[in-house]
Amino acid sequence: MKINCLVIDDEPYAVNLLEEYISQVPYLHLLHKCYNALEALDYLKHARPDLIFLDINMPHLSGMQLATLLPSNQPFIFTTAYSEFAVDSYEKNAVDYLLKPITFERFLRAVNKVSALCTATDNQATTQPLTQKLFLKTGKAIVQLEYDDVLLIEGLKDYVVFHTKDARHVVYKRMKDLEETLPANFSRVHLSYIINRHHIRRIEDNHVFIGNERIPVSEKYREIFLSRINKGLL
């Protein structure tokens, strides 16, 4: 499987070095580069990298501060020229701590930890039956669905619509809040659409076809969505 990486560092030389190292590891793919934490926060609104390389000493917002804003299950590796942050880094649940100048051998040891974590997560996901259910409060009723029965989710201002093969369920909730709670097989492809990748019939001309629906894939979400599709491409 490919591990999609985001590099966050305000030093161009450090970014270039990590880019070079990533290119030499077959299972790594550089998804994006950010040169400060604020730029990264904006990018992370619509992207979910598998691994983040995070510099600590950056202007405006440090890597330590940014780490507290990441989802609890987001793997990241600190990169820094300052050894005194080592203890704090593990308190932030970093996978590893790379001290600059970073050697390729040390880089490999760190990313191998992440590879092992991703493999374990994938194995767990494939052995779990697709019976996870959710309850939707729609109107005066509460409806129970299995996640894998959901074809797609459509956003309508402060509401979302869960589309299944047989019905549509309207729920008062914001897309952003909902997106963070969904299983890994759901992907945001547009400001107004989250799709269940298990139900994709085909992808063509920047559109996803699910059931009888033709869903646009916007430029904002295209890169991260296609990177997940490419993991299973034959």
Confidence class for position 16, pLDDT limits 50, 70, 90: very high
Least confident range from 5-14, 49-58, 136-145: namely: 136-145
Residue type, 234: L
Q: Can you give the pLDDT at residue 231?
A: 67
Q: Can you give the pLDDT at residue 87?
A: 52
For 98-119, what is the mean pLDDT?
Answer: 86
Domains and CATH numbers, the chain: 3-127 (3.40.50.2300), 133-230 (2.40.50.1020)
The burial class, CB within 10 Å (0-12 / 13-18 / 19+), for 54 is buried
For 175-187, what is the mean pLDDT?
Answer: 84
pTM value? 0.57
Confidence class for position 174, pLDDT limits 50, 70, 90: confident
Least confident range from 6-10, 48-52, 86-90, 229-233: namely: 86-90
| 201 three-state secondary structure | strand
Token readout for 63 is 């890597």
Confidence class for position 118, pLDDT limits 50, 70, 90: low
User: How many C-beta neighbours within 10 Å does residue 120 have?
Assistant: 10
Integer angstrom CA distances of residue 168 from 65, 162, 213: 41, 6, 13
Detail the DSSP E strand segments found in 147-204.
152-156, 159-163, 168-172, 186-190, 193-196, 200-204
Q: Between 137 and 162, whose confidence is greater?
A: 162
User: Closest Cα partner for 114 from 141, 96, 91?
Assistant: 96
| Contact between 151 and 210 (Cβ < 8 Å) | yes
